[in-house]
Amino acid sequence: MRPARSSSWFTRFAKGAARAAGRPVAFMSAVGVIVAWATLGPVFDFSNTWQLVVNTTTSIITFLMVFVIHSSQNRDSEAIQIKLDELIRAIEGADDTLMDLEELEEAELDAIRAKYQQMAERARAAFRRRP
């Protein structure tokens, strides 16, 4: 079953742009643009304008792609967190306090981390004592 289509134009755009930017043809296109730009260097006597064109273009594309990639990363991270929460909820005996940890304050995370570090140290010590 495919998920419902997003109603947000930005979400649809970000998904499509991230998918397209991650394909080999996008990389090869970028290489082609750079080769064409470099080839045109002698035609324009390697002028400041010639350099400015590629610098401005790459800066704009990079600036915009930061938002597209960040949107995709946020969506992926949220989906993974929800899936992990469901696994914790579904496993009998699992510590339900671990669900939705990403919403806790740093001090609360530190306390939980310390608890699990102590558990890990005890488990490693017990492992080392085994024959």
The secondary structure of 19-56, three-state, reads HHHCCHHHHHHHHHHHHHHHHHCCCCCCCHHHHHHHHH
Full-model pTM: 0.64
At residue 51, does pLDDT exceed 80?
yes
d(CA 78, CA 66): 18
Arithmetic mean of pLDDT over the chain = 90
Amino acid at position 113, single letter: R
CB 14 within 8 A of CB 72: yes
- pLDDT at 3 (0 to 100): 62
Report the share of the chain in percent with pLDDT over 70. Answer: 95
